[in-house]
Amino acid sequence: MNPEQLRDASMLDLFALEADAQAEVLNAGLLALERDPTAATHLEACMRAAHSLKGAARIVGLDGGVRVAHVMEDCLVAAQRGGIVLTPAHIDALLQGTDLLQRIGHPPDGNLHWPELDGRAEIDAWIVQMNRLLDGEDVAPPAPPAAPAAPSEPAAPSPQPVASAELPAAAESHERMLRVNADRLDRLLAMAGEAMVESHWLRPFGSAMQQARRQQMRALQALDGVQGLLDTPDVAVPRLRAALAELRQLMEDGQGQLSQRVEEFDQYDHRATRLSRRLYDTALSCRMRPLSDGMTGFSRMVRDLGRSLAKQVQLVLSGEQTQVDRDILEQLDAPLAHLLRNAVDHGIEAPDVRRAAGKPETGRITLAARHNAGRLVIEIADDGAGVDLDALRAAIVRRGLSQPDTAARLSQAELLEFLLLPGFSLRETVSEVSGRGVGLDAVQDMVRAVRGSLKLSQQPGSGLHFHLELPLTLSVVRALLVEVSGEAYAFPLGLVQRAVQVRRDEIEQTERHQHFRHEGRPVGLVSAAQILQRPEPPIEGDSVPVVVVGEQDRVYGIAVDRLVGERMLVVQPLAQALGKIKNIAAGSLTDDGTPVLIFDVEDMQRSVEKLVSEGRIERVRQAGTDATAARRRRVLVVDDSLTVRELERKLLAGRGYDVSVAVDGMDGWNVLRAEPFDLVITDVDMPRLDGIELVTRIRGDARLAQLPVMIVSYKDREQDRERGMQAGADYYLAKGSFHDTALLDAVRDLIGEART
């Protein structure tokens, strides 16, 4: 590229920036003029924007841009002077002209000559159409404008259930650019200078501390002198008093110096703490942008999409100046666009339907943002018909997601949650524009990825309401610090339902789960040490600290060693060389420099679900720490029959034994490897791992080899008895013939009474 071409490319970049900025003014102004064609303020703003673009295009030498902007300016000036009244056809044409100017600023494939070559025919056709409108001729309405490309989704090829739509990721650059206004930059520089001045204070402070150290050395020497006089026989009392007086004076001088230095250091610490907080807050504010920066084009998108669907739709925005972290802002673009498209396509009814329902023909969609308790809250709602709950319930049953009787009992909130499932749609045929449920799972994934939440609701006869709650920034997080196996970890507080102390004797074990009651419902319990593959801590106390995480039907209790408290943590991404660390999202440091790993709660929930599905949940040990109390002997009952398990458990527990249960041999083997027992009672025929194989494994394990094992089976077959005894069982009892006394007598024979 020669110097002239480089100059052209650089100038085109400037024009592209100008075109983008003025296009925002034109889009907003033209949409306002569509509602009030005579609004003088908006006419003036649009005319000036077109005039500015014409001048910029002339300077750069873009003749196509000059021609387009000139015709737009003529139209707006005519409207200002009352020569014409802007109609929807005028607005459509002016918006198309705005798009053309942006394409001229961002030509396809970076071709600087696109307006004079491939784009010339399109520009000429638009100018002809615009001139005919200015001459008052009837112009055939243009093809319905396509929805803007950025938030669009690919058309579904068939009415088959579709996979969730992927939300486009923001383009990554090796050098990310950040706009900072001059005022914030000046404040940062001022505080950096203040920090430099404060750092110079440490040098004289160090010298003063050296002086205090020398004073201490003189006092020690004086103390040695006093000690020497005391060791001297017949020392004169006046001489001793003089030495003590000198020592006292040195000590008082040293005390005074030390007090002064401590006071100075306290003041320095106060100043440095305030300065570092101000510096951090200002630097963080440089990442904050008004939400309006990420909402550019939404009003235009809603308007164009509504016209393409023969609907009249108005988007009402509030809270555009709400501040949000740039990274959050970038990730919000596609999800918000998707929800707005759904609202236009599915929420807002056709004009004749709205008239019949007694509603205004123009549908209304609201997008409101605000801060609430240190979080960003975004709400999107429409005044359409909402979701037909009966049709939704029928679709749930038809897809096999729930039994009819269960679906009939689902509440509205529970029904609406199904819209967030991958591929779920109420449509028999999939729309090319959107499909409520198609892609909503991707919206929810994005919200969860930034430690947020998404909730759906609706009032009878009104439209659907989306409530998004997100962190204001990804740079800092308020977290609950915990300790697991002697190491510090943190749960993002936005994903924590509650932190509770659960008494060990309140932990119930059924099937392959262990759970406790929380707010009237059972909550599954798993140890954080098992999830992280860390050693279990020694048992302490009668209760277990538990962090309750998740929502809806994915609520779990994570047992930890200790609850430390809430902290505000600066998020430090982990080194890319480490890759994705399972169950961990990022790192941080506490105020005292202790390293902390921040949990990836979504990943932890998946880990828990995998442990549950594989039957590998290890029991949270329930033994107390009262050394004076007699220890109860522990019995593990392994049986795939719930009835038999409960019968044996109640029988043994009633006689004082500490009883745990396992649903099959594999479950029992996992429990045995995690907890100590005095006796195992097992069935023979079980899925995954039968009783004979379980006994064989026990006898082959050095730690468990001496553990007494009793086989209890319905099948009183000699071959089963022989196989069990050969495998190493200590006792064989047939279920068909045993009674309570026989089982208890056998247990007492093997391990004795319940308490040692």
CATH number, residue 444 = 3.30.565.10
CATH number at residue 105: 1.20.120.160
Same domain, 246 and 302: no
Same domain, 559 and 606: yes
Same domain, 216 and 308: no
Predicted local distance difference test score (pLDDT) of residue 435: 47
Compute the average pLDDT of residues 328-353: 87
Token pair of 45 as six digits: 């703003």
Residue at a domain's end among 135, 156, 171: 135
Within-domain flag for 61: yes
pLDDT class of 596 with cuts at 50, 70, 90: very high
Q: Which residues of 541-553 are buried (b: 16+ CB within 10 A; e: fewer)?
A: eeebbbbbbbeee
Is residue 59 a contact partner of residue 99, using CB atoms and an 8 Å limit? Answer: no
Token pair of 437 as six digits: 């449920």
Predicted local distance difference test score (pLDDT) of residue 138: 60
- Alpha carbon 713 to chain centroid distance? 50
Within-domain flag for 86: yes
CATH number at residue 556: 2.40.50.180
Token pair of 634 as six digits: 């522990």
Within-domain flag for 663: yes
Is residue 499 a contact partner of residue 490, using CB atoms and an 8 Å limit? Answer: no
Within-domain flag for 350: yes
Global confidence as pTM = 0.57
Q: Which residues of 217-240 are buried (b: 16+ CB within 10 A; e: fewer)?
A: eebeebeeeeeeeeeeeeeeeeee
Within-domain flag for 141: no
Q: How many domains does the chain have?
A: 5
Determine the structural domain holding residue 532 and report its residue range: 477-614
Whether 551 shows a pLDDT value over 80: the answer reads no
Same domain, 323 and 458: yes
Token pair of 198 as six digits: 């404060």
Rounded-to-integer distance, Cα 603 and Cα 166, Å: 20
Is residue 60 a contact partner of residue 15, using CB atoms and an 8 Å limit? Answer: yes
462 C-beta neighbours (distance < 10 Å), count: 15
Predicted local distance difference test score (pLDDT) of residue 160: 35
Same domain, 462 and 482: no
Per-residue pLDDT tens for 697-710? 999 988 898 999 99
Predicted local distance difference test score (pLDDT) of residue 756: 63
Token pair of 252 as six digits: 């008082």
Is residue 469 a contact partner of residue 453, using CB atoms and an 8 Å limit? Answer: yes
pLDDT class of 639 with cuts at 50, 70, 90: confident
pLDDT class of 490 with cuts at 50, 70, 90: very high
pLDDT class of 20 with cuts at 50, 70, 90: confident
Least confident of 110-124, 583-597, 735-749: 735-749
Predicted local distance difference test score (pLDDT) of residue 190: 80
Within-domain flag for 626: no
Same domain, 481 and 463: no
Same domain, 340 and 464: yes
Per-residue pLDDT tens for 437-483? 446 888 888 888 787 888 899 987 678 999 998 888 777 888 899 99
Whether 272 shows a pLDDT value over 50: the answer reads yes
Per-residue pLDDT tens for 234-267? 777 788 888 888 888 888 888 888 888 888 888 8
Predicted local distance difference test score (pLDDT) of residue 140: 53
Whether 739 shows a pLDDT value over 80: the answer reads no
Compute the average pLDDT of residues 150-170: 37
pLDDT class of 560 with cuts at 50, 70, 90: very high
Per-residue pLDDT tens for 37-86? 888 888 999 998 898 888 888 877 888 888 999 999 989 988 988 888 89
Residue at a domain's end among 234, 263, 284: 284
Count of residues making up the chain: 756
**Non-local CB neighbours of 81 within 8 Å, separated by 6+ positions:** none
Same domain, 58 and 20: yes
Predicted local distance difference test score (pLDDT) of residue 166: 40
* Stronger pLDDT, 162 or 315, i.e. the higher one: 315
**Non-local CB neighbours of 124 within 8 Å, separated by 6+ positions:** none
Token pair of 637 as six digits: 């009952």
- Percent of the chain scoring above 90 in pLDDT: 13
Token pair of 124 as six digits: 């000429």
Same domain, 547 and 565: yes
* Stronger pLDDT, 127 or 226, i.e. the higher one: 127
pLDDT class of 694 with cuts at 50, 70, 90: very high
Same domain, 711 and 659: yes
Compute the average pLDDT of residues 312-317: 91
Rounded-to-integer distance, Cα 622 and Cα 540, Å: 10
Predicted local distance difference test score (pLDDT) of residue 176: 58
Predicted local distance difference test score (pLDDT) of residue 427: 64
Compute the average pLDDT of residues 595-609: 89
Same domain, 457 and 489: no
Rounded-to-integer distance, Cα 459 and Cα 469, Å: 20
Predicted local distance difference test score (pLDDT) of residue 737: 52
Within-domain flag for 154: no
Query: What secondary structure letter does DSSP report for 349?
Result: P
Rounded-to-integer distance, Cα 502 and Cα 499, Å: 10
Within-domain flag for 151: no
Same domain, 534 and 643: no
Token pair of 259 as six digits: 């007090």
* Of residues 570, 590, 589, 573, the one with CA closest to residue 581: 573
pLDDT class of 735 with cuts at 50, 70, 90: low
Predicted local distance difference test score (pLDDT) of residue 652: 87
Beta-bridge partner residues of 658: 634
Q: What's the number of CA atoms in the CB half-sphere (13 Å) around residue 637?
A: 27
Whether 148 shows a pLDDT value over 80: the answer reads no
Residue at a domain's end among 563, 581, 614: 614
State how beta strands 679-682 and 634-638 pair: parallel
Place of tokens 């490309």: 149
Supply the angle between the helices 298-308 and 88-105 in degrees, to the nearest 10: 130
Predicted local distance difference test score (pLDDT) of residue 198: 76
